[in-house]
Amino acid sequence: MKKHRAVKTVAAISKISSVLVFMVAAVCSLFAQDGVTVKNTFQNWTVATDKDAMSDEVTQVILNQGTASLNNVTVDASPNFTIMCTKKRISAGADIEGVAYIPYRFVSLDGSAEITYRFDTEKQAIGFWHVGSGNLFRVPGNPRSFIKKMEDAQRLRIAYSTVHGTQVIMSFELAGVREALQSTECKID
């Protein structure tokens, strides 16, 4: 199932403008198209590659499907953490498919929201993540720095509150991210 989702995700990437890069996880329901290959799976990560038929641009996606809870109750939702490289640019973000809750604490007109995140048992941090359509959250700051932290961690939790007071928590097991990155042309150094 995870491989199939990654294939469907990559198929849509070549058609998305760079501004909407994080819609990759939201398009998991699209059907696979020619040119998409699932390269490999590394523990919790699936790597897929797509070569655009018109431009020959290669897009690589590294996808992790996590778990979600609402007010500390696990729900049947499909949160995804996605790392994407196109032309040696790296993007990273998370979405929660199946749960259409909007973060409560928007802080600016550019669509940023206050999101709490935590690696392993470290102290939680608050970042201002850009929130796009479909509850797609782009990591705060430099994606390369965030990904480097992921390589040294076992788990990432992302949490926020909705306008209805519901606490949404996405949890991702990070084992295998270093190997997944090394199997691609994505360079984080």
Return the minimum-mean-pLDDT range out of 16-20, 73-77, 100-104, 179-183. Answer: 16-20
**Residue 33 pLDDT grade (very low, low, confident, very high; cuts 50, 70, 90):** very low
Write down the pLDDT at residue 12.
34
Long-range contacts of 133-136 (CB under 8 A, 24+ apart): 133/20, 133/23, 133/26, 134/23, 134/25, 134/26, 134/95, 134/97, 135/95, 135/96, 135/99, 135/100, 135/101, 135/102, 135/103, 136/22, 136/23, 136/25, 136/26, 136/93, 136/94, 136/95
pTM of the predicted model as reported, rounded to 2 decimal places: 0.75
Give per-residue pLDDT as tens, 77-97.
888 999 988 876 888 999 876
CA 38/CA 165 separation, integer angstroms: 39
Give per-residue pLDDT as tens, 107-132.
556 777 888 999 999 999 998 888 77
Assign domain 2-182 to its CATH superfamily. Answer: Invasion associated locus B (IalB) protein (2.60.40.1880)
CA atoms within 13 A on the CB side of 153: 20
